[in-house]
Structure 1
């Protein structure tokens, strides 16, 4: 006979008896009942996070969105993958894409590259008219887990067996998500909530609630954390809170990892959605402010360097290459020549002039197959990765 303990967020049900017995958590439908207590601090946080997110969306529009998106997507891919244990840096990923040879273990860089591909795929699906849905979630997972670690763990398929978090088996696990038959019911309910059934939920509240619910359901054998973090940004884009996927909370979650897991667990054990949402909205506000400051710093850097180039004679090809590096950060001579349709000598001369101006530097020390980086741009981006808030 099954026994259960109910909370506002769901119930714990005994799955088996005896020494192999374990209890699994079955999440309740969203939105929470009773509803979120949007009083005092939580209401103020929601307003603050909304304003910060709007400011980020506005300042991002002042930069070429495609170029900025190229960098932000890769920055998030590195951070999100680091949470899962990879050691690759933003420099590793950009260098790998530029010359096809990573500075760190190949599996790590490929894993980060799959995250880049998954985010692009998800955003393109949204632009093509597909709503945030179980189909989109499965497609994200399929792209994310296509190769490397996790590629043998059913990419794109919801699990058909019991999983657990912590411990060596469900019986001694820290947390056990719903079994497969209950999982599909919970996923269906989550999709309905995302589609505003039975009622409309404001975008930031929806993103915070949906992320926590997704992590509780844990519908894949691997990759749940990365998909759950992707879901936040794609939901905000689908809801119109962002025009481009520029908000990423991986750095915030990484820096407050213990609190992140503790508050997710408190939702399950105590039904404490309010503390989780306070944490989530604080993260949105902080990360939005940091991303806004980073974007402004990039704009100032680009303008200053562009003016230095323009005052020199014969700046045409130099300016062309500079604009290319704004969107790529790291390049090789063959890659720049190919993508800009310029000759190798023209690119080489332009890079030498940018080197003389200390705008770019060569990072291999090799006489051939040289690699060039727009160092001050990379430094600005890495300040964000290090969790340092740039001056406003």
Structure 2
């Protein structure tokens, strides 16, 4: 359904130029969103796919292992959309006592994303509401160090920003003037807490994502925080026990369509086309996450059997090291000993056994401070994670 533009234009000053800034109308859309027929069926399929993801993760031997890796995979993907070149391996190396040799600014940006998500989830579990204060707190973690730390972390912007183009005058999109940001975000917060005629959680998440990206309330980090908001809503709305559904890969693979549909909502009020795209992404992403979880379970079982088949007295120690690599698919012997209470010679010998049978690989080429990687595990997580 096409409506009129979903907001109005106001004059604003940016970079010494007068520009037309877009101020969105409060949600929900008017006239009401059409959720019937094929769209209702799509909503049901997406909801069912999320339910399967939630159930599969509860059946995993250790759901926290999957969560640890999947959150970091998402951090890499979401940051790549903003132009970083870090890989999952870079992030895991950085987390090994912040080892040198990885692109610092890029990997700090990815590490900040993990911190922002973990902070948001911890606060929600404590009973804190999904509100603007929480978003500002998460933004503080997202932008608190490294690139962008000079752009008012945790504060709504007080100056005009713009998206695309070489200057404000030829920008692809200009968000609301700074004096309108507080009111726009207050209206969005009210929508998130709607009590009368509440919408399905997935529909609320779809609408709120567009509204947040349209308001662009911060000087930097809006894209990443807007994608995090989706994960928070699905958890807060009771669809997922853990934040295991992220649309960054889907948005990355369909960037042109993503931006086109955001623009059509603003210019034509075509919320239905956006919701269809969003729900299709949820269904595909949830199905992909389920497949990834199952592949990891199969991998772990097969590799455990390979170690057990060695039949040596050292097999129990080798299994302990393999278990450590499941928890951290990239780790040093020093870290392994500290976390598992093993002596260095025992850990070193067990790791060498894994290298000999092709389950682990030493990646530094050094004689000291060696780092080992569980390639098969990391390769599954890395699918689709190549920098743009």
**TM-score (structure 2 length as normaliser):** 0.94
Q: Is the 8 A contact 2:94 2:102 kept in 1?
A: no
The 8 Å contact of residues 290 and 384 in structure 1, kept in 2 or not, is answered as no
Task: Find the counterpart in structure 1 of residue 312 from structure 2.
Answer: 313
How well do the aligned residues superpose, as a CA RMSD in angstroms? Answer: 1.8
Tell me, yes or no, if structure 1 residue 34 matches structure 2 residue 28.
Answer: no
List runs of 5+ in structure 2 lacking aligned partners. Answer: none
Contact 2:73 2:88 in 1 (8 A): yes
Q: Provide the C-alpha distance between the structure 1 equivalents of 2:174 and 2:382, rounded to a whole number of angstroms.
A: 37
Deviations 1:135-190 (A, max 9, x none): 11001100010111100000000011111112344333221111122211110111
Q: Per chain length, whose mean CA-contact separation is higher, i.e. which structure has more relative contact order (CA < 8 Å, sep 6+)?
A: 2
- Residue 11 of structure 1 is matched in structure 2 by 8
Find the aligned partners of 1:15 and 1:96 in 2 and give their Cα distance: 42
8 Å CA contact retained: 1:294, 1:384? no
Q: Deviations over 1:261-305 (max 9, x none)?
A: 111011000000001111111111111111111110000000111
Counterpart among 30, 40, 43 of residue 43 in structure 1? 40
> Following the alignment from structure 2 to structure 1, what is the Cα–Cα distance between the partners of residues 318 and 304?
10
Alpha-carbon distance, 1:29 to partner: 1.4
Q: CA deviation at 1:99?
A: 5.6
Match of 1:23, SS state, is: strand
Is the counterpart of residue 327 in structure 1 residue 324 in structure 2? no
- Superposed, 1:161-200 pairs within 5 Å as 161-200=159-198
Query: Counterpart of 1:364?
Result: 364
Q: Which contiguous aligned blocks of 4+ residues in structure 1 show a shift greater than 6 angstroms?
A: none
**Bigger Cα displacement from structure 2, 378-387 vs 48-57:** 378-387
Residue 246 (structure 1) aligned with residue 247 (structure 2): no
Cα offset, 1:98, TM superposition: 2.7
Q: TM-score, normalised by structure 1?
A: 0.93
1:338-381 deviation digits (Å, cap 9, x = unpaired): 11122111211111121222211111221121111111111111
Deviation at 1:95, TM superposition (A): 2.1
SS of aligned partner of 1:21: strand
Answer whether contact 1:229 1:249 (CA < 8 A) is retained.
yes
Matches within 5 A, 1:88-107: 88-98=86-96, 100-101=98-99, 103-107=101-105
- 1:197 Cα deviation after fit: 4.3
Distance, in Å, in 2 between the alignment partners of 1:100 and 1:369 is 13
Q: Which runs of 5+ in 1 are unaligned?
A: 1-5, 388-392
Q: Number of aligned pairs?
A: 380
